[in-house]
Structure 1
C-alpha cells in the first residue's frame, strides 16, 4: 500500500455524525431587506416602456430590450430567425466590422435572440460607454441594412444549425410538447424549418423589420452605474428616430391547458426517453402565486425536492429531474421534465405521477415549507445580486407588466406563506389528472409498459 492510500474512508452519514449524535446544521442568518435602489419606470414619447435602475457595484451597465414579435405568416418563424441573426451585421452608417470595433472600444457586447413571442436584444458595456452603446443600438433599430451577402451567409449557417438541432432529443421533445399543448398556435413554432429558411430573402427580412421592430408594446431595462433620470433623457434623444404609429405585435393568448393522456411520440432506437408533463398554473400577479411557487419547489423545483429524491437519488432513473414555471404572454404553466434510460421510462412516469398525487395528499410539512421558503428567498437574492441577474429578472417581469416594486416585495410575500396555503396549492394544482404531456422514446420497447399505466396513447403529434 502506498503512502497516500487509506483504508479508513467514511461515508457521508458517518462524516455528519459525532459521538454525541448528528452534527448540528448552522442556523440561517437573518433575512436582509431588499436594497432600496434608485429607479425610474416610465414611457418614452415613442411608447417604449423603460425601467432604469441604479446598481453601482461595478462600473458597467446591462441593457435588455424586448420587442413583441408574433406573426401568423407561414414564413414568419424563419424570417424572424434570419432577422435576429443579421440585424447586427450592418447599417447604413456602419458595417459589421465598424459595429464590432465600436463595441469593443467600450468593453461592450450585443446579441439578439428571437422566439414566437418576442425579439430580445441583450447588451452590456462600461458605464462610460453607454452613449456609444445607445447610438449603435439606435442605428440598428432604425437603419439595419440586411445586406444580401450577410443574409445569405447567416441563412446558410442557420440551416446547418437547424439540421443539427432537429436531431437532438430535447428539441424533438420540446416540439412535441408544444404541439400537444397548443396545437397550431403560433407559440408552437419555436424552431423554423430549414426549407423555410432557404426561402427567406433580404427584401422579406427588411419588410419584417419595418413592420415589426417597433417601440410601442416594447420594454427596455437598463441596470448599472447610472443616473436613472439622466438615462431616460438620454434614451429620449438617442431613440427619437425610432417611432411608429403602429405597435409591436403581441402573441395571441394561449389556450387554457386541461389534463389529458400523455402522448408517446415514437423515436425508434432511442436509448433514452424524454418525459415532459405540463399543467396550467398561476400568473405572478395572482395572490396565490407565492403559495404555488413554494409547492412547486417542494415537488421538483430544487435538488432536495421530492421528485429528485425519488427518481434520481433513490431509484437512479434519471440524472436530472425538474419542475418549474413557464410564462408566456398572459399564461403561466407548470412543466415537469426528466430524461430517463429506455428500460425505466414507464417506472419513471409512474413515480412522477405518484409524487404529483402525494404532494396534495401528503402535503409538505412545516419543515419542508420552511426549507423551500429559505431556498426561494435566498436564490432570488442571489439572482438579483449582480447587474446581469437583476436586468434579467426585471426584463422578465416587465414583459408581464410588472416592475421593480413587485421584485422588491416578493421576499415578503414568500415569508408570509403558511404551510396550510402551500398544502392547498399542492392539492389544487398538482393533481395528476390536471397534467398532459409527451414521452419521446422507442415505442416498440416502452409502449406496452407505458400503456399498462393508463392515460398513455401512442401516436404522432
Structure 2
C-alpha cells in the first residue's frame, strides 16, 4: 500500500536527452530537418519562411498573406481544400510571428501522399480570391475593434510601440490598415517570400523513409528565385518612459513595464532567465507572492523575456484594481530593487533551479516538442551546445551572479511604464 503520509523521494534531474534533428538537402537545396520519434503513425511537416520587406505603408502584408494561403488556389477553393484535408483525418494551419511565417500539416503517414500535394498547391499556387480576402479582412477588423476595448491589449500595443517604434516589432495595427490591403500587394509579397530559397522544412513524428522520398518528389524540383533582401528592424525607442492612457470608467488598470533586452544569442540570456524566474517567471515568484498572495491586488502577475530574431525585450505584466495602481507600481519597484541589493537565499534558488529543470524536461514530451526546441536553436544560429550550457548554468549559477546580473541589466527608472486605466 502507498503510504500517503510520507513524502515521495525527491530526485535531482541530472541529464536531459534531446532527440537531435538530422539534416537533409533536397535537390534544390531546401534544408529538411528530421526529428524522428514516437510510436503513433503521425507526422508534422512545417514549411517555414523568413519574413521580408516589411513596410510601414503596408504593415499587414506578412500576416494577411500567410493567413490567406488556405483560402484558395488555381484548382481548389478554400472549401475544397478543407474538405480534402478533413477527408484524410489530417489538419493544417498557418502560423505567423514577427520573424517567420509557416504552413504546417499534421497527417497520418499512410495518407501523406494524399495530403502533402494539397500543401504544395497552397505554397506554389495560391490566388488570394477577393471574396475570401474581404471576409478575412472584415473578421480581422472586427477582432481588433473588440481587442481595443480591453485595457490589457491597449497596454501591450503601447508597450511594444514605446520599445520598438514604427517597425515590424513595434507597430500596432490600426483599423484603417485593413482598408488599405490590396490583393495585388499580397500576390507580390507572396511571390517574394514563399520561395524555395527562403524555405526550411522541419519534419517531426514517426518518420518513414517514404516521407523524405515524397518531399523530394514534390518539392525537390520546386523552382524559384532567391530574394537576398533581409528583414531590417532598425528601431528607436520612445524618449518618454511613462505612457499613461486614462480610462475614466475603468475598474482595473493594465500595467506593462519593461525595456528592450538581450535575446537568446546573448551569453547572459540563460542567467537572466533564472533571474527573471525569481522575479515573476513562475507561480512561486516574488511578484506573485507579494502582489497576489500577500496584498491581494491581482489574480495574476508575471514577468518574462521575449527573444526575437533581431532584438528582445523584458516585461512585467498585470491588471489590478484602479485604487491600488500606485501601490502595485511601488511594490514592483521594491521587488526589482531587492534582487539588486540582497542575495537570493539558497532555499529559494534551489526551488527555482528545480522548477526550471523540471519545466525543460516536461516540455520534451514528444517529437513535436523536440522539434520546437530545435527551432529555438536553428533560427538563432545556435547548436545543441546551447542546451548543455542552459543546464550547466541553471545548476551552477550563484546568488552573487544573479545579483550582479540584476545590477547590470535592471534599472527601474529606465523601464518603460505603460498604465491603461486610472492612477
TM-score (norm 1): 0.82
Residues 151, 201 of structure 1: 8 Å contact kept: no
Residues 366-389 of structure 1 deviation map (CA, whole Å, 9 limit, x = unaligned): 222211111111111111213343
Structure 1 distance, partners of 2:341, 2:240, is 21
Residues 88-123 of structure 1 deviation map (CA, whole Å, 9 limit, x = unaligned): 022123222332233223332111133443323333
Moved more, 104-113 or 341-350: 104-113
Check 1:283–1:136 CA distance in 2 against 1; reply closer, same or farther (3 A cut): same
Check 1:362–1:390 CA distance in 2 against 1; reply closer, same or farther (3 A cut): same
Residues 209-233 of structure 1 deviation map (CA, whole Å, 9 limit, x = unaligned): 1122234354332211115x76555
Residues 187-336 of structure 1: pairs in structure 2 closer than 5 A: 187-190=169-172, 192-227=173-208, 231-247=211-227, 250-253=230-233, 255=235, 261-336=241-316
1:390 match: 370
Check 1:275–1:47 CA distance in 2 against 1; reply closer, same or farther (3 A cut): farther
Structure 2 distance, partners of 1:230, 1:405, is 31
Residues 186, 251 of structure 1: 8 Å contact kept: no
Residues 154-186 of structure 1 deviation map (CA, whole Å, 9 limit, x = unaligned): 222222222212222222111110111112223
Moved more, 157-166 or 331-340: 157-166
1:5 match: none
Structure 2 distance, partners of 1:249, 1:29, is 51
For these two proteins, the number of residue pairs brought into alignment is 419
2:336 aligned with 1:356 = yes
CA RMSD of aligned residues (A): 2.7
2:88 match: 106
2:147 aligned with 1:165 = yes
Moved more, 283-292 or 138-147: 283-292
Match of 1:318, SS? coil
Check 1:152–1:132 CA distance in 2 against 1; reply closer, same or farther (3 A cut): same
Check 1:335–1:250 CA distance in 2 against 1; reply closer, same or farther (3 A cut): farther
Moved more, 300-309 or 85-94: 85-94
Residues 67, 248 of structure 1: 8 Å contact kept: no
- Where structure 1 has 5 or more consecutive residues not aligned to the other structure, the ranges are 1-22, 447-461
Match of 2:33, SS? strand
Q: CA shift at 1:278, angstroms?
A: 1.3
Residues 124-163 of structure 1: pairs in structure 2 closer than 5 A: 124-163=106-145
Moved more, 372-381 or 211-220: 211-220
1:40 match: 22
Residues 273, 341 of structure 1: 8 Å contact kept: yes
TM-score (norm 2): 0.89
Residues 373-384 of structure 1: pairs in structure 2 closer than 5 A: 373-384=353-364
Match of 2:53 among 64, 71, 80: 71
Structure 2 distance, partners of 1:32, 1:128, is 39
Match of 1:432 among 399, 412, 421: 412
Structure 2 distance, partners of 1:80, 1:287, is 31
Moved more, 97-106 or 351-360: 97-106
